[in-house]
Chain A
Amino acid sequence: MVPVSQETDQGASTIHEVLGRVCHAMHIAEGFLPPAHAVAWSVAAAPFVVHGVRSLTREVKEHPESTLLLGASGAFTFVLSALKLPSVTGSCSHPTGTGLGAILFRPPIMAVLGTITLLFQALLLAHGGLTTLGANVFSMAIVGPWAGYVLYRLLRRCEVPLMVAVFFGAFVADLSTYCVTSMQLALAFPDPSSGYLGALGKFGSIFAVTQVPLAVSEGLLTVLVMRLLVQSSKGELTRLGVLVAGKRTETTTTEAVA
């Protein structure tokens, strides 16, 4: 290890350059959205976050016992958005972990938890950014959770088994986040020859395609955590409406498995 740094200054600097680039993984980087777009996305995201803060304080006030599970949902997002994984396109990106919180506590609360994660990364890791926070919050903390939640509810209404619905909810929450990111970049930087759609194709192939296997991973990890929750926190899940109290078939099968 020591010889490498002693070899040449040049070698060391290129390694750092590469590391610096590799260590960035996703979200729109600081300063990479024109001011008008940055402001517009922030304005669009703000009401959702404000509403989310209100729902969050109401939830904590009415059900103080759910604070622990709220923390766990935020922690899940923290872990997953720090996991930069290689993907089939030959580049790296990371999951978002927003599906779980959205399914458990509904999307408004997830908007707050996602914003906290994005703030942490923007302030300490130079990952994402303050000027692009609005856009990144809109994609990861608003559209992602809502898309995942809506699909989850639809699947549940169609009597799809819980874990299958959880998988697709998390999968879509993850993937839709990056589709929105691609769209935001395409809007800001339309291709000079092929226009908005051409740029959307370009950014889409970078973000969305890279994200497909990661979204599968996120779906599987969310299912894993949900399985652990079903074992350990049945009462809480029933109160949150994830497990249906009247439906004994579901809980008895999980009990048998546990």
Chain B
Amino acid sequence: MIFNIVRKELKSLFSSPMGWVILALLQFVFGTFFLIGVDQYFQTMSGAMRPEQRIGITAFVGQNVFGIASFVMLFAVPLLSMRLISEERRQQTLTFLFSAPLSITEIVIGKFLGLVGFLSIIIVFMAAMVSSMNLWTNVDFGYILSNVLGLWLLVASFSALGIYVSSLTHQPVVAGIITFVALFALLILDHFLAGDPTSTMAYLSLMRHFEPFSRGLLDTRDFAYFILFIITFLTLTIRRLDADRLRG
């Protein structure tokens, strides 16, 4: 049943130009950064005399591509997530889902997985792009995997927040703006509190938990943080939609 919702979400993403345009644009941006990364590697490395200055190509290019990805997704995810529930509310199609033999949990999880599934396509393309360097050199697959995993958890968290905000309003644009501002605030939270490394507030920053992944470090604490973040916002969304049914 969840699968049917996922399928429906992907179908409506791909039946409007929105899905294709975002897919193409993001691929263009990441492709460009990949190219620049490869190009700059030789320049930078030929200038690096001491061995400790030299870093592997995977880390160098990966940083370039995945670093920009976390930033670009900040714009892309709100654009995609804003429509998820608010648009259905506005077009009054939410009734269609509520009348079908589905629980609200299934609807929300289905929509979440649909969006994450779409974003996974982008991430898979990115991973394939970076891995393609393996044709000429030895690529550090562990590093790529950890980056992919980190980015994936990051966009999944973005999506969960996006869905929740979308469920609060009738206006997709309002949902998009609020999601963007909220995500932006969460990302740069640790910049504001950089002076105090033990601050609890800074610990909530998404970037702080993404950063170890981008260094190739898998930490259960960061996993737990992302998973809890996702579960929290999905639960809030379910509760919000359930309130629709109860309070009308």
Are A and B a genuine interacting pair, yes or no? no
